């Protein structure tokens, strides 16, 4: 059996504001923005280089806007990624070193909380395998 997680719903109050945040400030690609039936709008967005997308919209979920936390974006270079996101106008926390692995944090306009993690350096991985 094989499974892949490819889409995660993110609950938001203002779809257009959230769409702008994810595309303009985070650089996510807009895959589609459709209203299949009246009251159900589906906006799919994909982070650069990711196989997994997020979906925001209306009429899809009972989750409260801003209730999602812990979605993690993994990046090769924290410093350059954070600098680019700041340049785009995103508010990103300072980088925190947690045992040799760098993390930073941000929230979308509704308060859904995200984590940016730098890929685990080889020397840190080796230390965990001992």
pLDDT in tens, 19-48: 999 999 999 999 999 998 999 999 999 999
User: Is-contact 108 12, C-beta < 8 A?
Assistant: yes
pLDDT digits (tens, 9 = 90+) for 76-97: 999 999 999 999 999 999 999 9
Residue 88 makes CB contacts below 8 A (sequence gap 6+) with 24, 25, 26, 27
pTM over 0.85: yes
Q: Calculate the alpha carbon distances from 23 to 1, 15, 29, 90, 125 in Å.
A: 34, 12, 6, 11, 33
Place of tokens 């350096």: 121
């Amino acid at each position: 059996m094989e499974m892949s997680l490819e889409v995660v719903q993110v609950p938001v109050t203002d779809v257009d504001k959230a769409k702008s945040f994810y595309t303009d400030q985070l650089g996510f690609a807009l895959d589609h923005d459709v209203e299949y039936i009246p009251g159900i709008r589906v906006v799919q967005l994909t982070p650069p280089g990711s196989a997994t997308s997020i979906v925001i919209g209306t009429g899809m979920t009972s989750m409260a806007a801003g209730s999602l936390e812990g979605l993690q974006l993994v990046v090769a270079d924290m410093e350059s990624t954070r600098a680019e996101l700041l340049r785009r106008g995103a508010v990103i926390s300072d980088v925190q070193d947690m045992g040799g692995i760098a993390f930073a944090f941000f929230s979308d306009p509704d308060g859904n909380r995200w984590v940016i993690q730098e890929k685990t350096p080889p020397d840190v991985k080796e230390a965990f395998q001992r």
